[in-house]
Amino acid sequence: MKEFKGTLSKFDFNHWQYHIPISDEVAEAFMDGQNRRVLIWIMEEGPFHMALFKAKTCWYILINQQHRFRFNLELGDEVILKIERDYSEFGHEVPEEFQVMLDQDEDANAIFRALTPGKQRSLVYLVTKVKNPESRMKKSLAIMHHLRLSKGNIDGKQLNELIKYYNNL
């Protein structure tokens, strides 16, 4: 783990504006081949699952609106960060409810494992962000159902409809 200071900066050219630049030395020390997933602690709070991104001039991590509000960050503020390589399989901790569904549904598990790492991470995150265990279970069921129906062709609209359906059961 490495601790360093960063400054909240902003790109002017896209919707992923707020970021903290990371030195080449720090970024390269925490990359594992093509895996750029890292754990970040902001002001001693975390870890937050993030990724290192490369711009023309620097490496950086994105700082979303939730983190800016949570830590009361304004453009130009200095922030103390800690960084560590993320060894988790999907870039997020897998909720127990989702893992149980994967273990019980061999077909959906096989389809899930055939998805790209980014799609896997997105589906895990959909469940991770839900706080209520019952709701996590319903969302996991909807995702498994969608994987079998779509045979791995994720259709966001169809998935959202299934999530609504399972939430109303």
* Complete domains list, the chain, with CATH: 2-85 (2.40.30.100), 96-167 (no CATH)
| Model confidence, pTM | 0.74
Region 87-110 average pLDDT? 89
What does the pLDDT read at residue 15? 61
Q: Which residues contact 9 (CB under 8 A, 6 or more apart)?
A: 18, 19, 20, 21, 60, 75, 76
Dihedral sign of CA atoms 150, 155, 161, 165 in order: positive
20: enclosing H helix or E strand: strand 18-22
Give the C-alpha separation, 143 to 138, whole Å: 9
Q: Which residue has the higher pLDDT, 64 or 57?
A: 64
On the question of pLDDT at 34 being above 80, the answer is no
pLDDT for residue 88: 83
Task: Kindly state the percentage of the chain with pLDDT values over 90.
Answer: 66
pLDDT higher than threshold 70 for residue 114: yes
DSSP E strands in 52-164: the ranges are 53-54, 59-62, 78-85
| 151 backbone φψ class: left, alpha, beta (φ>0; ψ -120 to 50) | left
C-alpha dihedral, 28 to 43 to 96 to 91, nearest 10°: -20
Q: Work out the mean pLDDT of the chain and round it to a whole number.
A: 90
Q: What is the pLDDT of residue 93?
A: 84
**Position 38 confidence tier, pLDDT thresholds 50, 70, 90:** very high
Q: What is the pLDDT of residue 14?
A: 64
Task: Read off the pLDDT band of 11 (50, 70, 90).
Answer: confident
Question: Is 70 exceeded by the pLDDT of residue 116?
Answer: yes
State residue 92's pLDDT score. Answer: 80
